[in-house]
Chains A and B, each alone.
Chain A
Amino acid sequence: MKRGILALTALVWLAGCSTQPVQPWERGDLARPEMAFEPDPLLAGYRRHVEFSKEAATGGPTLGGGGCGCN
């Protein structure tokens, strides 16, 4: 039991080491525009609008706007 807890603690500790937080000055690749969750909001918004009017599923990681009578 005790050994199990010890092993678990060690594992958590090691996991903590392996996932060293990415420092503020190491975020150059993450800052690239093509790494954004939505690099092209205008086009993405347009395509979502088309899909919305052709499919039953809607919603997701951004806020819904108004409805429309679009086909």
Chain B
Amino acid sequence: MRWRSAAAALMWVSGAALALGTGELPPDLVAQDHNGTTQRPQDYRGRVLYIDFWASWCAPCLQELPALQRLYAERAPRGFAVLAINVDTRRSDAQRLLDRLQLSFPIVFDPDGVWPERFALPGMPTGYLIGRNGRVRHVQVGFREGDLATLELAIDQALEESP
């Protein structure tokens, strides 16, 4: 614990926050999604939630989002939810992509980067798989060929656990 706070102090000096890791609770944040519904990660407790950070300029994100849509459509009845945080500074850039992709999970527009700052995002895209107990189970940094299978497995394992 001592070491940890020392590391945190060091990171603060160097300008970086400590990244969110497995077993931890996600920051308590509240925002309105694109439908005006209030979104708060804590409210998903009891379900499996995937918080995905994306941007229109992030090419791997463009491959990840349709894959997430498929996972979401297949597993929503079993308690799987997706919350996508868009970090584009111009909303029109994000909207153009959304028009094309037809995603059915909630999108939060965060042009000021409040959420990624609090999560201390290590890269783009980054996704946090949060178990039914509300704790981070898996952090997906980047998205490459082959990552989908890993993610799918992690989601299924999380879904099988009781809250």
Contact = CB atoms under 8 A, between A and B. Distances in A.
Chains A and B touch each other in the complex, with CB atoms below 8 Å apart: yes
Contacts of A21: 15-16
B121 interface: yes
Interface string B1-19: 0000000000001111000
B57 A31 contact: yes
Contacts of B126: 24
Nearest to B141: A24
Chain B interface, DSSP helix/strand/loop, else mixed: loop
Nearest to A20: B15
Interface in B93-136: 93, 113, 116-117, 121-124, 126
Given A16-B15, A17-B15, A31-B57, A23 B117 contact: yes
B58 interface: yes
Interface residues of A, number: 12
Contacts of A54: none
A28 interface: yes
B49 interface: no
Contacts of B113: 23, 25-26
A63 B89 CA distance: 36
Contacts of A25: 53, 55, 87, 113, 116, 121, 124
Contact of B124 (A16, A17, A27): A27
Interface string A9-51: 0000000110011011111100110000000000000000000
Nearest to A19: B15
A32 B53 CA distance: 18
A20 B124 CA distance: 18
B88 interface: yes
B116 A28 contact: no
A31 B87 CA distance: 13
